[in-house]
Chain A
Amino acid sequence: MIKQMRRYEGWFGVAAGLCIVSGLYFGLVGSPADYYQGEVVRIMYVHVPLAYTAMLAYGALFSCSLWYLWKRDLIVDNMCQAAAGIGAFFTAVALITGSIWAKPTWNTWWAWDARLVSFAILLLILIGYLMLRTFTEEKERAARYAAVLAIVGGIDLPIIKFSVEWWRTLHQPLSISTRGLSIAKPMGIPLVFMIVGFSFLFFYMLAVRTQMLYLTHLLEAKKGRLLGEVHL
């Protein structure tokens, strides 16, 4: 699996680069400013893809965790850890860019709105996940516990989203949904480019980070063997 990652990761990187560069060009130069929001709307081309990719990362984490509990494969666990780290980063940046966008449009940095709160909870779950991994000493046990947490969290997330949505909502509806675009074409096309580009970027980062974690692991195991003790 590591070999396949090394073989294909470059293509993902190139695809991500192409999509993001063209998306940025169409978004920042080729598309008009919003009638109501003015130039401020352009942060959307970063904010929305980040939010989508954060959810994609949790999806990857969830499926890798199931896969790990099934096969107990070390590389799959490395993939879980990589997906969680990248996911936490994307979630945090999505919250920050959203906050920057909210200040001029809603006139507040933060609102107790449904989607904001559920994203903040997503970030907390991911940070808890990463903390659980660092606080568990044995590698195998850390992998197992982390997988269970990711699965329980993944089942809980839709419930959290619904309950928070019932509780209150202020966010504008999604721009791109299964019902099609609810956004003007010159703004929708760069947005789609950016979302696709960020998804490629996520898989590229996932491949690189997984390999890194795997190699660190091998190195530790070798060091352990040299010192006459067996880790893992």
Chain B
Amino acid sequence: MSFFNVIRWITWKDLISEFRNRENFSSMLFFALIVVLIFSFSFSMDQTSGREQIPGIIWVAFTFTGMIGLGKSFAAELHNDCLDSLQFSPAQKGAVFIGKFLANLLFLLFVELLLFPMFVLLFNLEVLEKLPTILVIFLGGSVGLSAVGTLFSAMTVQIRAREVMLPILLLPLAVPLIIGGVEATAGVLRGDPFLLYAHWIRLLFAFDVIFLVVSFWAFEWILDT
């Protein structure tokens, strides 16, 4: 099978299995809602002082939600020894990586798109004219998180204590994404001029490009036999 066919089939099978049981999607969505709820108790959420914390809450919710989805991504391959089949299949490992990465990215973006209107309602944000910039920032953060996350998901699924190890390995490395996402979102929501936070968006996309390449290359060694 050609490189792009492998990508297409892997992504497609993940989407179909998700569509059939909706396990990943529902757990991600409700987990994110609970995170937001907990935050609303932890910080005072009145109109003035609460403003400052909203970008942080959004990104903590996204990161933790991504962690749930990424953890399940390769855990699902353990049933019926699917992981072994992927390892032994003659398909290029890089194509398998891109396929899984695309599926994870789509789940994450989908959940983010559902969550964002809720943030707008709950925190009373005014975003209509800022929407394109915000979506670009979300995309930038999600691509990087899914790229590194797919790599570490494949790594941690084959070791002990995998639920704990994924966040422990992934979160410190995702620090630039979290800082960049929070600062850029804060800039947009405050209504700053674009040039004041453009460097954060550049940071997000630089991170994305670098770690897509690195994870693509490193995946060879993860699915090695």
Binding site for B on A (CB under 8 A): 69, 121, 124-125, 128, 131-132, 135-137, 141, 144-145, 147-149, 151-153, 155-156, 159-160, 162-164, 166-167
Question: Given A144-B224, A148-B222, are A131 and B165 neighbors across the interface (CB < 8 Å)?
Answer: yes
Q: How far is the CA of A156 from the CA of B206 in the complex (A)?
A: 11
Q: List 22 A-B contacts (CB under 8 A).
A: A69-B221, A121-B172, A125-B172, A135-B160, A135-B161, A144-B224, A145-B222, A147-B221, A148-B151, A149-B169, A152-B151, A152-B173, A152-B211, A153-B173, A156-B176, A159-B203, A159-B210, A160-B172, A162-B176, A164-B175, A166-B199, A166-B203
CB <8 Å contact, A132 and B221: no
Binding site for A on B (CB under 8 A): 148, 151, 155, 158-161, 165, 168-169, 172-173, 175-176, 179-180, 183, 199-200, 203, 206-207, 210-211, 214-215, 218, 221-222, 224
CB <8 Å contact, A152 and B148: yes
Question: Given A132-B165, A144-B224, A164-B179, are A137 and B160 neighbors across the interface (CB < 8 Å)?
Answer: yes
Q: How far is the CA of A183 from the CA of B215 in the complex (A)?
A: 42
CB <8 Å contact, A152 and B175: no
CB <8 Å contact, B179 and A149: no
Interfacial chain A residues near B180, Cβ < 8 Å: 163
Most chain A beta carbons < 10 A, residue from B160, B180, B207, B221: B221
Given A145-B159, A162-B176, list of 15 further CB < 8 A pairs?
A125-B172, A128-B168, A132-B159, A135-B159, A135-B161, A137-B160, A141-B158, A151-B218, A159-B176, A159-B210, A160-B172, A163-B175, A163-B179, A163-B180, A167-B183
Q: How far is the CA of A162 from the CA of B179 in the complex (A)?
A: 11
Interface of B is mostly: helix
The residue in chain B whose Cβ has the minimal distance to the Cβ of A118 is B175
Question: Given A131-B165, A137-B160, A153-B173, are A148 and B203 neighbors across the interface (CB < 8 Å)?
Answer: no
The residue in chain A whose Cβ has the minimal distance to the Cβ of B206 is A159
B161 → chain A closest CB, angstroms: 5
CB <8 Å contact, B221 and A159: no
The residue in chain B whose Cβ has the minimal distance to the Cβ of A127 is B168
A65 → chain B closest CB, angstroms: 10
The residue in chain B whose Cβ has the minimal distance to the Cβ of A133 is B159
A120 → chain B closest CB, angstroms: 9
CB contact between B203 and one of A128, A147, A153, A163 (< 8 Å): that residue:
A163
Interfacial chain B residues near A147, Cβ < 8 Å: 221
Interfacial chain A residues near B200, Cβ < 8 Å: 166
The residue in chain B whose Cβ has the minimal distance to the Cβ of A146 is B155
Interfacial chain A residues near B206, Cβ < 8 Å: 159
CB contact between B218 and one of A125, A148, A166 (< 8 Å): that residue:
A148
Q: How far is the CA of A147 from the CA of B221 in the complex (A)?
A: 9
Q: How far is the CA of A164 from the CA of B160 in the complex (A)?
A: 32
Q: How far is the CA of A151 from the CA of B160 in the complex (A)?
A: 22
The residue in chain B whose Cβ has the minimal distance to the Cβ of A168 is B179
CB <8 Å contact, A125 and B159: no
List of 8 A-B pairs having minimum Cβ-Cβ separation, nearest first: A163-B176, A124-B172, A136-B159, A135-B160, A148-B218, A135-B159, A156-B173, A128-B169
Q: How far is the CA of A125 from the CA of B206 in the complex (A)?
A: 21
Most chain A beta carbons < 10 A, residue from B168, B203, B210: B168
